[in-house]
Amino acid sequence: MNNIAEQLNLAYQNLTEKWQALPEAKIKPQLLAVSKTKPVSAVVAAYQAGQRQFAENYPQELAEKAAQLSSYADIIWHFIGPLQSNKTRLVAETAHWVHSIDRLKIAERLAAQRPAALGPLKVLLQVNISNEPSKAGIAAADMLQLAAGVSSLPQLQLKGLMAIPAPGMSEPAFAAMAQLSQTLQQHYPQADELSMGMSDDWPLALRYGATMIRLGTAIFGARDYHKE
Ligand SMILES: *Cc1c(COP(=O)(O)O)cnc(C)c1O
């Protein structure tokens, strides 16, 4: 078995063990394999080990990988990175999910550019839950306003929330996200997804009701940005 397959199996084992050990029953989260900066061959290795959900941060990289892997028709692509207006088309045409919606303008562009044949794009609102200056995401107080705008766009489906806590702040951030998710679901019952937890803090995210955890390093190893 190759290393990626081993790491992936280990991640699923850990997830199952920690999930079964939770003090109260929760939905078992989906595990997204974050393949940013990793070659197509790494995605294929994970695919052959059974992984189907992959997440990317850069529009160009997502579009290139999706094109190269178009014969793997059951891959589900999640876009989780910052999104500028001039890159929305790449994402609208390739992603199944976008986790990083934090402006209505970006949502409107995605909606306008979404090919009808692909069906609605599933989206999450990104919340700047640790209130970090100059970080992506809306303020918690603005959630319902953006949710109303997004849910008026028929080419998008509002599915829930996403957050990236500040370093060392995961627990209060996940607790706050769990509350916000409840508030959102009171208005939009179908928006019950909560994307939170990365290689370092996913067990904590699990305790606070994450439905999608995003693992890069734990599956593919450390990223080398110098090779880009
Ligand atoms: C890179 C990235 C991840 C994966 O991080 P790891 O620490 O490698 O697991 C998850 N979510 C987002 C938004 C990322 O940018």
Q: Average pLDDT for residues 5-20, to the nearest whole number?
A: 97
Give 22-68 pLDDT, tens digit per residue: 999 899 999 999 999 999 999 999 999 999 999 999 999 999 999 99
- Residue 80 CA to residue 102 CA, distance in Å, equals 12
Cα 161 to ligand 1 centre (Å):
16
- Let me know how long the chain is: 228
What are the structural domain ranges in the chain? 4-227
Q: Average pLDDT for residues 146-159, to the nearest whole number?
A: 98
Give 67-84 pLDDT, tens digit per residue: 999 999 999 999 999 999
Where residue 224 falls among pLDDT bands split at 50, 70, 90?
A: confident
Atom of ligand 1 nearest to the CA of 217: 8
Cα 34 to ligand 1 centre (Å):
6
Residue nearest to atom 12 of ligand 1 (CA): 80
- Residue 57 CA to residue 216 CA, distance in Å, equals 11
- Residue 96 CA to residue 156 CA, distance in Å, equals 10
Q: Is the CB of 80 under 6 A from ligand 1?
A: yes
Q: Each residue of 157-193: b (16+ CB within 10 Å) or e?
A: bbbbbbbbbeeeebeebbebbbebbeebeeebeebbb
Helices 3-20, 40-48: axis angle to 10 degrees equals: 60
- Residue 170 CA to residue 130 CA, distance in Å, equals 9
- Residue 178 pLDDT > 60, yes or no? yes
Atom of ligand 1 nearest to the CA of 100: 13
Cβ atoms of 165 and 201 within 8 Å: the answer is yes
- The CATH architecture to which 4-227 belongs is Alpha-Beta Barrel (3.20)
Where residue 200 falls among pLDDT bands split at 50, 70, 90?
A: very high
Q: Is the CB of 216 under 6 A from ligand 1?
A: yes
pTM: 0.97
Which of 10, 79, 80, 200 gets mutated to test ligand 1 (max ligand atoms within 8 A of its CB)?
Answer: 80
- Residue 157 CA to residue 55 CA, distance in Å, equals 18
Angle (nearest 5°) at CA 191 between 143 and 167: 55
| Token representation of residue 214 | 């995003």
Which of 198, 202, 213, 224 gets mutated to test ligand 1 (max ligand atoms within 8 A of its CB)?
Answer: 198
Q: Is the CB of 214 under 6 A from ligand 1?
A: yes
Alpha helices in the chain (DSSP H): 3-20, 40-48, 59-68, 88-92, 104-113, 143-151, 170-187, 202-207, 217-220
Give 104-137 pLDDT, tens digit per residue: 999 999 999 999 999 999 999 999 999 999 899 9
Cα 62 to ligand 1 centre (Å):
15
Cα 198 to ligand 1 centre (Å):
6
- Residue 194 CA to residue 108 CA, distance in Å, equals 22
- Give the Å distances, CA to CA, from 145 to 6, 120, 182, 203: 44, 21, 16, 31
Atom of ligand 1 nearest to the CA of 36: 1
Atom of ligand 1 nearest to the CA of 223: 8
Where residue 225 falls among pLDDT bands split at 50, 70, 90?
A: confident
- Residue 227 pLDDT > 70, yes or no? no
